[in-house]
Amino acid sequence: MSSSDPPSPTPAAKSFRVCLNCRRKKKRCDKALPTCGRCAYSNELCVHEGDGSSEERSLDFESLTIQSIQRRSPYPSESGYELGTPLTSFNPQSFAPLAAGDEIHTFIFRTMVETIGNRANIEQVVTSYFVNVNTWYLVLDRPAFEVRLRELWANPSADVCLVVLCMFLVNKLPRDSPSGTMRDGLYLSVKSALALVEAQVTLSISLLQSRLLIALYENSHSMTQQAFVTLGSCVQMTRAFGWNRPGFWSEDRQREHPQELKDCCLIWWTMVAFDCQNAIAYPSIKYPLSTVEVDFPIPDPSVFNNLLYPRSELSLHTDQFLGEILYEECPLAKSAGYAQQVLRGRLQAGSPARRHHELSDAITAHVLNIMSGPWDTGHRFLSVTLAFISTMMLHEPYLQAAALSKDGPYARSLETVASIVDSVYHISQTMNANDALQAPEPLTPGGALCIYYAARLLIVHGGVVLNGTGVQWMVKVQSFRRSLEIFRRRWSVADTYLRQLDQALHERATQSRMP
């Protein structure tokens, strides 16, 4: 036997079929269980198709003996499944097959299985993501992704496996991190997997979606620098796809590819929303906006609804809820657009009062339009909170002047901000009454930022400038703090907001004691 031949396996049980690796490489397989000779020699995950005559071609992961699947977190996760011990490093021997090019698919597939577990666990991760985060972070189309997920078991795809790993990362709660920090082994492993995939495969929407999920994770757990860099790379990817060229969004392409362009629109406006939130949450860092380079209007996703589902065909859908979803607008696009205008105006400064009030009135009308619609979708809550943040930021520079001059050009600023703070206070009271992760509104990072922003304005201006509806400003601040304590169970960025509020309260108390 030559040294290049794979070693002969010990006599053991055999499968009735060749393993997937040998079949894909068109190599002879000895069908040994639990791993064939070739897979043992190349240190690859060896999985055989089910020996029964099942119509679905799937892999039997129940028979796998991966040590990381056996290890579990001592805490049950509130996201609906238990988290496996995150990978702290990759086995160096696992990188050897990557020189073959197409083996990146097998490697990321094996990483996904070792990190999450068997097929049932993986499907549970995907379901948990879609019924929670994807109701407001609109970067993935569920039906299309689930089709690709079903095909994954027979034809591993690095793109799809990477998205699943990113879902697993985003689903993780702060309490699920054994190290007490969200910059743990799982986060580093997923980012490493992303780099490996991008080095070997062609750019795709799936890779963009993976990066956006990582950016969400970083933004929501106070990794400001990392979120800025990741989101900037996402914008560069959209330029590679041609989104920065008007021809990409032409009417001819809208008629030919309505679903593709609608998905691209949803991704783009979600990027703009989180780009703006990052800039608002950390004004002292002064990172530039990543999404302002497009100098023409990108369409609202709702413009594609008539192309996808003509009114004449709506009667074919017997589900009334489905009919509503097909034609509902995407308010997040408008909210993100207004937030971008406010930030750019603040950067330019000195905008005339008339323009200031026109933008404020447009945002208010947008909020009223959202409030009049159904509230069964999470992106509506995210849209309202982003609009609230934009309005408070728009009027904040003029609050002191408005309090001193009731007839000045910015006198309306005081009334507008006080009204929004009262609305946020009502949201906070509702959330605190439930005092659980199962709050009526989704726990979005934008919701935490909105509550923090309102609380900060009260600490700075409350009692003198912002009196609101008679409730003392400190009572509202305490309510906002309780809400942020609920938020931090899901997103650790709320911890940062709580520390900043405590610091602001301390500074106000110090100033009040000064003669």
Res 292: pLDDT: 75
**Rounded-to-integer distance, Cα 345 and Cα 193, Å:** 39
What are 170-210's pLDDT values in tens digits?
Answer: 998 888 776 667 777 889 999 999 999 999 889 999 999 99
* Residues 359, 436 share a domain: yes
Is 420 among the domain residues?
yes
- From the number of C-beta atoms within 10 Å of its C-beta (0-12, 13-18, 19+), residue 355 rates as exposed
Confidence label for 439 from pLDDT (cuts 50, 70 and 90): low
End position of a domain, from candidates 312, 328, 344: 328
* Residues 320, 366 share a domain: no
* Residues 343, 322 share a domain: no
- 494, 448 Cβ separation under 8 angstroms: yes
Tokens of 314: 């709506």
- 69, 118 Cβ separation under 8 angstroms: yes
Res 179: pLDDT: 61
End position of a domain, from candidates 165, 186, 221: 221
What are phi and psi for residue 59, nearest 5 degrees? -100, 145
**Rounded-to-integer distance, Cα 328 and Cα 238, Å:** 26
Is 341 among the domain residues?
yes
Domain containing 110 equals: 56-221
Q: Is 44 helix (H, G, I), strand (E, B) or coil?
A: coil
- 403, 463 Cβ separation under 8 angstroms: no
* Residues 183, 314 share a domain: no
Is 509 among the domain residues?
yes
CB atoms within 10 A of CB 364: 15
Is 33 among the domain residues?
no
Res 347: pLDDT: 52
**Rounded-to-integer distance, Cα 260 and Cα 122, Å:** 26
* Residues 277, 301 share a domain: yes
What are phi and psi for residue 32, nearest 5 degrees? -70, 150
* Residues 275, 211 share a domain: no
* Percentages (nearest 5) of helix, strand, coil residues in the chain: 65, 0, 35
- 291, 340 Cβ separation under 8 angstroms: yes
Confidence label for 301 from pLDDT (cuts 50, 70 and 90): confident
Is 251 among the domain residues?
yes
Is 393 among the domain residues?
yes
* Residues 309, 364 share a domain: no
Is 29 among the domain residues?
no
Poorest-confidence range of 40-44, 153-157, 257-261, 399-403? 40-44
Q: Of 218, 389, 189, give the one whose Cα is nearest residue 287.
A: 218
Q: Output the pTM of the full model.
A: 0.77
What are 80-124's pLDDT values in tens digits?
Answer: 444 444 444 444 444 444 554 458 898 899 899 989 988 999 999
Q: Which residues, listed in sequence order, are joined to residue 72 by a DSSP beta bridge?
A: 84
Is 8 among the domain residues?
no
* Residues 345, 401 share a domain: yes
Res 180: pLDDT: 61
The stretch 441-465 carries a mean pLDDT of 86
* Residues 342, 305 share a domain: no
What are 233-254's pLDDT values in tens digits?
Answer: 999 999 999 999 999 999 899 8
Tokens of 405: 């001059």
**Rounded-to-integer distance, Cα 388 and Cα 323, Å:** 29
HEC string of 171-208 equals HCCHHHCCCCCCCCHHHHHHHHHHHHHHHHCCCCHHHH
- Torsion on CA atoms 63, 66, 68, 70, rounded to nearest 10: 40
* Residues 278, 203 share a domain: no
* Residues 513, 365 share a domain: yes
CB atoms within 10 A of CB 396: 17
Q: What is the b/e burial string over 229-262, where b = at least 16 CB atoms within 10 angstroms of the residue's CB?
A: ebbbebbebbeeeebbeeeebeeeebeeebeebb
What are phi and psi for residue 132, nearest 5 degrees? -120, -85
| Amino acid code (one letter) for 125 | V
* Residues 345, 315 share a domain: no
What are phi and psi for residue 19, nearest 5 degrees? -75, 165
CA distances from 296 to 223, 244, 330, 419 (A): 31, 8, 19, 34
HEC string of 312-342 equals HHHCCCCCHHHHHHHHCCCHHHHHHHHHHHH
Query: Pick the residue with more confidence: 452 or 295?
Result: 452
Domains in the chain, number: 3
What is the average pLDDT score of the chain?
A: 78
Tokens of 64: 């796998």
Res 34: pLDDT: 76
Res 127: pLDDT: 94
CA distances from 232 to 95, 159, 175 (A): 29, 20, 29
Q: Is 374 helix (H, G, I), strand (E, B) or coil?
A: coil
End position of a domain, from candidates 275, 297, 328: 328
**Rounded-to-integer distance, Cα 366 and Cα 71, Å:** 49
Q: What is the b/e burial string over 268-300, where b = at least 16 CB atoms within 10 angstroms of the residue's CB?
A: bbbbbbbbbbbbbbbeeeebebbbeebeeebbb
The stretch 214-242 carries a mean pLDDT of 93
